[in-house]
Structure 1
């Protein structure tokens, strides 16, 4: 039986990726698309300005877009995917949850709220139990679940794989694709022949979200991981695929082989969108690379390579497709977990 789903912010870049992933999905049926008041009432093909590298699905193209309001979405929609700007999401998403909808959101608002699950299913699926705390505290019949920032998603599965070696401190420098800023986010005059060594708010997201994802949930509250995380985030002139240089300081002294084995053994999840293996480990020192490796596992796999020892631990590189694994695909994966575990 298909789960009927809605997409909030369906005309945006992540909204379009969501539709690309949801339309052929074996378990989900797109039943509602929402956008701004100006787009409401029009066929999706008229207002979407479709930019995904695949044709717009015909059945979706003729769907009438509705306002982003719980009263405009059919009651029989079981699950909502949100790709709203955080400034909009912070007001709209709680309204949907209060109205009884379960919301799987890519938006950055509320990610660090104590009662909001921030989840990568292969890493911390048990944190989804925070929904019970959230419903008790807020009186909601629905729920609000978040996936982390695109740069955080790229790194954290690799950190989780190394945590058994005693993860103490992490330093990361990112090389982030322009698509992470949205279609109009970075002008060509700003990024061509250039690197921008600052992405507003990105460092803080990586530093806080990583510790929440790796933290422990005792059934009542979640404690952050003890590791210190520091980040430097840079915008580079690639279209898709965030490449990250990671230095992990570890209590133990694993060999390069031990680290590579741990990364390769990172568990997948028993969900349609979770790749096997979760982490593709390269022996070559010059891999992964965005153009060559961002579509591994249909864009859902994390790639790692260049592992080498340092005086305090290890250094390695990791990569993921920022609008698939890092955004739309992450929300879909959380939706699959919500459906499988009976939260809808």
Structure 2
């Protein structure tokens, strides 16, 4: 078993890491790290458990430590830290020889740090060698994208063969993406909030890096642009988005559907990988968060309403579980690929 620590273990994404790693066949939780006010106390005492499963018994009595490398007994750390904390703490861990699989946004766009979706760009893991040589680290940092970006880009990967020219996307994002206390009930009930700070920029820039090409030294951005509009809606879990894709080859909706159906990233030997990365829904009113977010144990992305749009665009709807596929599950899948490729 590989010893695993969780940074930011008491927060919403940290709890999801605990839930998903508690019975993992490759990783054993050996350290839970959080703020100084939680350090020294039992995890069961300080974690206000918010998930719909019981707190795993095997972590309840683990003593929480601070987010300092010398206090964490692990080979890999999964980071659920706030971005403002992750920017220094994650580098401290990498310098100290830890592999850091991060959900934080702090280092995603740094040129020598992989921004990874295993089904999309596993070749970008070679940036780890560039990173270690440049920074003289014994460890490394690997990041997963923004939660909405993951859902969209996973569906764009099989469409790259059509020569994507531009993407428009409008998101409808669940409140859990903002954390348990991120959006007040008075603000979101009977309402839609047409602004999520920084979200649109992340979708527009991260997509280009993810679908870009690695030349042995750097990743060159994909040669198309993305325009995003992001909205918070009164849904608990599951981000939904409408995508307009325009490409050089002008595929029909049927060709796009077939590309989704045939997509096989060949990651079936990884414990967190779903049987189907993309699930196509034929019903006219699907996918829906409440009905589809847990497909593939929360790791599948569902698509539907594939249809012709204006100016030779193809439109479709995609959705996925934002704290599983879009956060903790994504980091865990990244770590499994690291192990498979010999980086862990």
State the TM bucket, normalised to the shorter chain. Answer: over 0.9
Mapped contact 1:157–1:266 kept (Cα < 8 A): no
1-structure distance, mates of 2:315, 2:283 = 14
TM-score (structure 1 length as normaliser): 0.98
Q: Deviations over 1:147-173 (max 9, x none)?
A: 000000010011111110111100000
| Residue 179 (str. 1) matches residue 176 (str. 2) | yes
User: Which residue number in structure 1 is paired with residue 314 of structure 2?
Assistant: 314
CA distance in 2, matches of 1:312, 1:99: 52
SS in 2 for 1:133: helix
CA distance in 2, matches of 1:192, 1:103: 37
Question: Shift of the alpha carbon at 1:312?
Answer: 2.2
Q: 152, 163, 184: which is aligned to 1:166?
A: 163
> How far apart in 2 are the matches of 1:106 and 1:312?
36
Q: Distance in 2 between matches of 1:156 and 1:210?
A: 6
Please, which of 203, 206, 216 is the counterpart of residue 203 of structure 2?
206
* CA displacement 1:317-339 (0-9 Å, x = unmatched): 00000000000000000010111
Matched, 1:301 2:300: yes
CA contact (8 A) 1:147 1:331 kept: yes
Cα distance in 1 for residues equivalent to 2:329 and 2:304: 23
- What SS is found at the alignment partner of 1:318? strand
Asked whether the 8 Å contact 1:264–1:277 carries over to 2, the reply is no
2:79 to 69, 79, 82: 82
1:257 CA displacement? 1.2
Residue matched to 1:26: 25
DSSP 3-state at the match of 2:209:
helix
1:180 to partner: Cα distance: 0.3
Corresponding residue SS for 2:317? strand
Aligned match for 2:128, one of 131, 134, 154: 131
Q: Does 1:112 align with 2:139?
A: no
Partner of 1:329: 329
TM-score scaled by length of structure 2: 0.98
Secondary structure, aligned partner of 2:302? strand
Q: How does 1:27-66 map to 2 (within 5 A)?
A: 27-66=26-65
Give the C-alpha shift of residue 313 in structure 1: 2.1
Structure 2 residue matching 1:30: 3-state secondary structure: strand
Q: Which moved more, 1:324-333 or 1:255-264?
A: 255-264
Q: Is the aligned partner of 1:255 residue 2:252? A: yes
Match of 1:286 in 2: 285
Count of residue correspondences:
341
User: What do you get for the CA RMSD once the two structures are aligned?
Assistant: 0.7
Distance 1:27 1:264 in 2: 30
Superimposed CA distance per residue, residues 166-192 of structure 1 (whole angstroms, 9 cap, x where no aligned partner): 111000000000000000000000000
Task: Measure the CA separation in 1 of the matches of 2:248 and 2:174.
Answer: 33
C-alpha distance in structure 1 between counterparts of 2:61 and 2:51, whole Å: 17
Match of 2:94 in 1: 97
Q: Which runs of 5+ in 2 are unaligned?
A: none
CA deviation string 1:105-133 (max 9, x = no partner): 00010100000000000100110110000
Q: Structure 1: how far apart are the matches of 2:235 and 2:121?
A: 30
Deviations 1:230-252 (A, max 9, x none): 10000000000000000000111
Equivalent residue number for residue 68 of structure 2 = 69
